Structures are given as structure tokens and as C-alpha cells.
Chains A and B, each alone.
Chain A
Amino acid sequence: RRFPDFSYITQNGRLTDFLDCVIISHFHLDHCGALPYFSEMVGYDGPIYMTHPTKAICPILLEDYRKITVDKKGETNFFTSQMIKDCMKKVVAVHLHQTVQVDEELEIKAYYAGHVLGAAMFQIKVGCESVVYTGDYNMTPDRHLGAAWLDKCRPDLLITESTYATTIRDSKRCRERDFLKKVHETVERGGKVLIPVFALGRAQELCILLETFWERMNLKAPIYFSTGLTEKANHYYKLFITWTNQKIRKTFVQRNMFEFKHIKAFDRAFADNPGPMVVFATPGMLHAGQSLQIFRKWAGNEKNMVIMPGYCVQGTVGHKILSGQRKLEMEGRQILEVKLQVEPIAHADAKGIMQLIRQAEPRNVLLVHGEAKKMEFLKQKIEQEFHVSCFMPANGETTTILTNPCIPVDISLGLLKRETAIGAAPDAKRPRLMHGTLLMKDNSFRLVSPEQALKELGLAEHQLRFTCRVHIQDPRKEHETVLRVYNHLKGVLKDYSVQHLPDGSITVESILIQATAHSEDQGTKVLLVSWTYQDEELGSYLTSLLKKGLPQSTP
């Protein structure tokens, strides 16, 4: 199967009606390779969103891909050059952090993903529900690309690639050391090094590395850069300078990227020169053009070396040698002994995935993976550390995620004022509990005082009154007991209004206390404590206070 089975999306009806939009995360063919097929052959006329660099680079790769598949391998039923052009006409380019309104309900936003030039992660939002799809990303900054970054957008779901989660990467320093060592060894024994590059970033990174090394080690072997590369690269850099990291931007401003002391422009005749040299040439996958020509000349000699960028489309020579083929048939002739080194493109490892989840704070995580049984450990790790649900559906499997929508509630000013007046004002570190009544009426939610709610609903207010009996040992007459209680309470409850009424009862604020003699035992007095629901706290406190008994010394 060359292209994905798009009938997974919908079995009936047109894709244009069913889908609101299509989003492409970056220019790698495993993410955009089926786009012209999808839009022009299956049929989709809706908007296609991608970042500006992706829009500029995609058509080039798609055309290369088409050329290899159709012209070289003779495939039919493939998209044409015109289809690529028609497809790209449907593309709407977006900027980073720009909120794009796809329709009245759906909005999308692109975030920087690192990985390759123009790669983005996308936040997709409808109302207050959102999903973030990461595509391929990298959390460790490169020499020429920064690290992926998400704000605390708290999406309901984060969909992330997890195939490389099990990798623990060798440090950059060691990789570079190894690369330079191997280039050095090759050049020292008189061999030639071919570095096929696509045009951006990687090439410049390696150039800077080699230039510094050559200077330090005082090496004399020539380093060449093919001119086609220079023009294209400069052009792209000028367009997309904001997509690279700070360091490169500074370097570009200070000098033209290709003004290196040790690196010169290449002429195809040089490939036949004897002696050691290093050459950067396009295209990156060794499928045509200058890099393939040079490769043919040099691959047979075991003193020579090829350094691959680590990503090649199936069918290209690059892909073949990356998969380990050492003997290649090129127009009938056999070539042996291809020695090579690979500079892989950075993907997120387990640490990176955990970092991204920590940044974005999603409520759920979904892992896009190779094999389910190889992801169980990561799933548990994520669930344990972040206390979120983690899903790993297989192709064709539907996962249902429950979201907690946010419902806005208006609070009445009167209630707010009243609650603020009681006690200390709440602050960010010490929230206070407040009481109110939630009214749901006419699709709106309001928080009002209970009295107002009753009024609006036309309900009568009920009064709740509690009465409690406290037994006190006191053989004296009732009114003496009352006096004792009154003095005691007056002494303890200094901030409250304690009153002794002429009818023999005591009031504490609005709480009523009366004393009667016990029906069967004259030595015991029964205190009746009575309060309304609103005075619950004070009432309970009073009751427990009285249950402790009266102090002996009170007269």
C-alpha cells in the first residue's frame, strides 16, 4: 500500500464536506507524501494549513518523490506535477502562535517544534475543548534549530509521537567528536568524503564544525560546497531566518553563510582530482544530480566515505545504503564497499516527552506508536508522574476521551460584596469558602444569595431552629444557675453580645439560653440552648462550652 487508506476517515460522503481542514506538520514525506494524492485524486477541496517554510519546501520534495517513483521506477497511478501545483494552491500558510479561525467554531495555532525547518505542533480548539498534535518534535536544541516549545495551554488531549521514546541519545559532543574523527581518518589516508545535503541547517551545522576543526588541526585538504546548494540555501535562509535559532541568526547577520576560509565552491571536474577532499552536494537522498554522480565515482574505493543525513525516501540510493545495503547495482555495474556514517535527525526521547507534557499540562495523553507492548512502560511512567490517563490506540481503534468543559458563572455583586465583608479578604494563597445559590435559568448560570434566589423563584424562606439540652449539676435555684451561666459566658465570650433578659433567659447574639429544673432531679438543671441555622457555628460552640460545665468559682 503506497498511500494511507483514507476510507478510515469516512466511508460515505465527500471528504470536503466531512473535514473542516487538513494540517501538515512538516515537510518530511512520511507526513506530506500523500497530500497531492489525497486532495487531487481522492478529492478534497477544503483548506490545507502549514507553516511558511513547509509550504515552500513541500512541493520540492513532492516533485522529487514523484520523479523517483514515476520516472525511475515506472509507477502508474501516481500524482502528476500539475496535481502537486493544484494541491499547493489550496494551502494557507500560517505563522507561529498565530490563531487561525478556520470557521466560527474551529481555531488552530502553530507552535515551534524544532526537528526540521518549518516543523510545527498544532493546537486545535473548539470552544473550550482543545487538542494538541505534536507531529515530530525535538526538545533538545540543535546547532541550527531551537527546541520545541508549548505554553501551559492545558489541552484536553496531547497526541504525541512515541517511537523514539525508548532512545537514550549519545551526547552531541560525542557524536561530533566521532564525526570529525572519521572525517579526519578518511582524509588522512587520502580518501574522499561525500556529504549529500538537502540544503538547510544540517549543511551549515556541519560546515561550521568542519571549518573550526580544520582551523584547529591545521588541515590542508580542500572542502567544497556545490553552488546549487549555495543559492538555494541562501534563498531559504533569507526567507526563514526566524525559524533557526539565535546563534545561526547572529552568524548569518555577521557574515554570509558561505564565507568560510576553508570551504570553496565546487566544480564537477574536481571530483576526479586525486587526493583527499570533503564535498557537500545536493540532493540529500542521493537519488539524482550531483551528489549521485559523485557517489558513483567514489563509492567503489574503500578509502572513501559517505555521510548520510539520516532520512531518505524509499527507492533512493540513500535509502538503500541506510538500510545496510553495501552492494548496489547501478545501471548494470556492481559497486562494493560503501562505508558510511549517519547523522540522524533528532526526535523526542522519553525525557523530551515528559518535558513537553510538563510544559503543556494536558488532561489526557495519547501515544502514537509502533508496537503497543513496547509502550506500556512509558504509559505507566506518564500516568504515575502526571496523574493523567494515557491511551495507545491501534490503527482503526476509536478512543473516547471525557472532557471537563468550563462553564462560566456570573456572581451577583450583592453576594460578592457581602461575602467580602465577612472576615479577611481572600488572596491567591488562601482561598476562602463562600456560600451562595447557583441558579440555572435560560442557558445562563448565576451565583446569587439564597434570599435573592428564593425571591426570584417565588419560594418562601424556611427557618430552621435547633434546640439542644445541656444538663448541669447545680442544686441552687434556677435563677441562680442562670446568673452563673451568664457571668461565665460574659467572661469567655468577650467579643460577643451576651445579655441577661428580664424574663430570665440569656442571649448570645441571637442564640437563646433558658434554664429549667430537671423534672426528676432537683440537683440538675437543664439548659435549653436554641439557635437558628445561620448561627450554627456559634450554637455548636456554645453547646460544647456549656457541656464542659461551669467553673466552680463563679458566684
Chain B
Amino acid sequence: YRDLHTFELQAPTRLIEWARGNRVCVAGYGQCDGNEILQLIPPPTLLTKETQGLCPERDFKVECGGFSERPVYSLKYVPDTSLLVTSGPPDSSLQVWQVSAEDSDVIKSVSTIATENGTGQSWAKIATISARAPWVLHGSRLDRVQITEVESRKNVYTAAIQGNEELGSLAFLDCNLLLLCCATGQLCLADTRQPQSLVEAVPAPSAPCSEHWCMGTRHAAQGSEPSSQPVARLSSRGLLALTDLRKTSEFLALAKARVPSPGSGAEFLCVSWAPALEGYLAVSGFDGTVHVYDTQSWDSSGKEAEPIFVHKGHIFGGAGGSRDPPLVTVHTWHLQKPRTLLSAASDGSLHVWDWVQPCGKC
């Protein structure tokens, strides 16, 4: 490691979201009342791109917080507003909150975006964008995907897609194109201008079994086409499929991450692309580690890939012994510092780590 910080949150989080001003947001997902949503100011070492020689402060500061009655499974800031949106069980509705750090340190609950709740629906996956107005894309199932204008709560788009598959994740490619990843592994491309049908459906990389899938997308640089960035799909068995949206008939690459078996379920599967390093991605959710891979050397054979770096810190943090080893619930990359990641685990730990490129690689 070049640098390592370990923190202990009062309650574990399963989300780490970046906000304006390099703020970080975490939230509790406990079953009882009183889950806290915390917007944090990272220590000065993380606020700047360059690692300063010596910095007096190594602590996070809570800038503001809110209380949620339901567990918070997903949270997204709404760009160009002071709002954020959360979702969580027991249904697929969304909660809208207001953050006004200058006036008060309380994140206030503002409104709810209700959804039609059929039976057997789980919590909604969300994505936000600032298009003609601030929009939130949400849904728990393929046939229930919609876009709602956050402030007016008006419905802007409802997909009339067939299929009741549960969604793993969803994303805006731009204000017209949506990317939906089903838990079965199927990737769907939809256009808001054509709600009746899908633009494209990319099948799952392997025959359907009890695997669960999620995806990671990378933001294109200003000016370049959104679909030029490869999409990564991760399964609960450790399979990683990279797809180029311009050429979906074949895989860009296929590999297998080294994961313990039997797997620990698909609850916290997380795959993300490094924003500042080309071709690097990170994977977590199988145990108490986070793996970093360089995908540039991958082919489509599906063989096991060797991680460039493994963060094991969460395993050593806990009390040890009697309790179950902690499971990494989420990870995210620092937006500017190329090799810095943040990861959280089920024991409430929050780590910030800056890994060193191993020797022999340029």
C-alpha cells in the first residue's frame, strides 16, 4: 500500500456514493428504525489529487446526516440539485431527501416517489441524470422500469418491456439511452424515445443457473460516445464478461475471478471500472476482499484471471473468532486519484486505500 486509512462506522453501509465537492455518502441498511444517512467530508489527503507530504488530519468528518425509517440499499445524488434519492425494502418506492449543508446539518426527507407495487417486488435500483430536468431512472423489474422527474414527481417514461426478470443494476448511457442489467445476466438497451421495445438485448454470458448478475459501467470522457465504454457484468460465481455495446454479438473479454466456493450469495456483488486508469476494474462481494484486475490482457477464453492487487484489510479488522468474517458490501474508486479505492464491509468498517503498482509493470 502507498496509503491506508481504516475507519469504523457506527453502522455498516452497503453504498458509497460521491457527491459534489468530493463528499462521500454512506447509509445504514439495518432492519430496525433509525438508519442514518451520512454525508462525509474525507480527510484532506483525499480531497486533493496529489498526496501531500504530510497532512495533519486523517479523519472523516460528518457534514450532515438524516434518519431513514427503512434500510437504505441504494442512494444516488441528483445532479444540479440539492436532492438525493434512496431506495430500499420493503417495496420499490423511492424516498427523496434534501441536503443543505450550509444551513443545517440535517438531511431532510422531502417526498416519496410511489410506484405500483405488485407482489414479489423487491427494492428499486436507481440511476440519476440531469437531462432536460433532473431525472431518476428506477425499477426493481424489467417490466417496471420508469423515469420520474425528481422535483415534480411526474412520470416521464415508462418502459413497456416484456419480462418480469429482476434487475441487477441500471444506468443512463446518455439522456436517451438506458442500459438495464437483469439479475439473470441479460443486458438490455432501451431508448426513451421508443418505450415499446428494446433497442437490443444481449444474452447472458452463460447458461442460466442460479447465478445472479450485476454490471459496472464507465463514464465516457466529454465528447466521446457513451457506448464506446465497455460494460462489465459480474456473476455470483465470479464470471466476468466485458461487452462493447457497438459490437454485442461477441464478448470483448471473458474471465473468471478467483472467488471462494461455495459463494456467499449475490447480496453485495459489486464491479466497477477505474475512472482514471484504462482497463482496470475492481470486484468485491464474495468475501472480505476487494480484487483489482487489469483487463487489457484478457481474452474471451473465460479462464481464471490473476488480480493485480487484493485488499485484505477487512478480514483483519474484526474482533475475530466467534463471529462470521466480514463481507465487503461495496467499493468505489476515487474520482481523481488513480489508484485510490474506498471499500466498506458488513462489520461497519470503511477503508480507504491506495495500492502500489507491483514491480515489473509499466
Give A contacts to B, CB under 8 Å. 165-171, 173-175, 177-178, 182, 305, 310, 322, 339-342, 344, 350-351, 354, 373-377, 380-381, 384-385
- Does B10 touch A at the CB level, under 8 Å? yes
A-B contact count, CB below 8 Å? 81
9 A-B Cβ contacts within 8 A? A168-B59, A168-B62, A169-B7, A170-B43, A171-B5, A171-B6, A341-B54, A375-B105, A377-B65
Q: 7 closest pairs, A vs B, by CB?
A: A342-B56, A170-B58, A168-B60, A377-B65, A171-B6, A166-B62, A377-B105
User: When the two chains form their complex, are residues B105 and A373 in contact, meaning their CB atoms are under 8 A apart?
Assistant: yes
- Does B103 touch A at the CB level, under 8 Å? yes
Chain B stretch 90-119: residues in CB contact (< 8 A) with chain A? 103-106
| Additional A-B contacts beyond A168-B62, A305-B54, A385-B34 (8; CB < 8 A) | A166-B63, A168-B60, A170-B58, A344-B57, A350-B62, A376-B106, A381-B65, A381-B67
User: When the two chains form their complex, are residues B5 and A174 in contact, meaning their CB atoms are under 8 A apart?
Assistant: yes
A350 to B66, CA, bound (A): 14
User: When the two chains form their complex, are residues B54 and A182 in contact, meaning their CB atoms are under 8 A apart?
Assistant: yes
Known A167-B60, A175-B58, A322-B56; contact A374-B6, beta-carbon cutoff 8 A = no
| Cross-interface CB contact of A167 among B61, B64, B67, cutoff 8 Å | B61
Please give, as numbers and ranges, the residues of chain B lying within 8 Å of A175 by CB-CB distance.
58
A354 to B62, CA, bound (A): 15
Please give, as numbers and ranges, the residues of chain A lying within 8 Å of B54 by CB-CB distance.
182, 305, 339-341
- Does B191 touch A at the CB level, under 8 Å? no
- Does B53 touch A at the CB level, under 8 Å? yes
Chain B interface size, as a band, is 20 to 34
Please give, as numbers and ranges, the residues of chain A lying within 8 Å of B310 by CB-CB distance.
none
| Cross-interface CB contact of A373 among B3, B6, B9, B103, cutoff 8 Å | B103
Known A169-B7, A170-B7, A384-B34; contact A339-B105, beta-carbon cutoff 8 A = no
User: When the two chains form their complex, are residues A178 and B63 in contact, meaning their CB atoms are under 8 A apart?
Assistant: no
Chain B stretch 52-92: residues in CB contact (< 8 A) with chain A? 53-54, 56-67
Please give, as numbers and ranges, the residues of chain A lying within 8 Å of B57 by CB-CB distance.
342, 344
A351 to B104, CA, bound (A): 21
Among B4, B9, B66, B105, the one with the most A-chain Cβ atoms within 10 Å of its Cβ is B105
A42 to B202, CA, bound (A): 82
CB distance from A165 to the nearest CB of B (A): 8
User: When the two chains form their complex, are residues A350 and B61 in contact, meaning their CB atoms are under 8 A apart?
Assistant: no
- Does B259 touch A at the CB level, under 8 Å? no
- Does B220 touch A at the CB level, under 8 Å? no
- Does B166 touch A at the CB level, under 8 Å? no
- Does B36 touch A at the CB level, under 8 Å? yes
A350 to B40, CA, bound (A): 13
Please give, as numbers and ranges, the residues of chain A lying within 8 Å of B5 by CB-CB distance.
170-171, 174
Please give, as numbers and ranges, the residues of chain A lying within 8 Å of B106 by CB-CB distance.
376-377, 380
CB distance from A311 to the nearest CB of B (A): 12
Known A167-B61, A351-B10, A380-B106; contact A177-B53, beta-carbon cutoff 8 A = no
A510 to B53, CA, bound (A): 93
- Does B8 touch A at the CB level, under 8 Å? yes
Of all chain B residues, the one with the shortest Cβ separation from A308 is B56
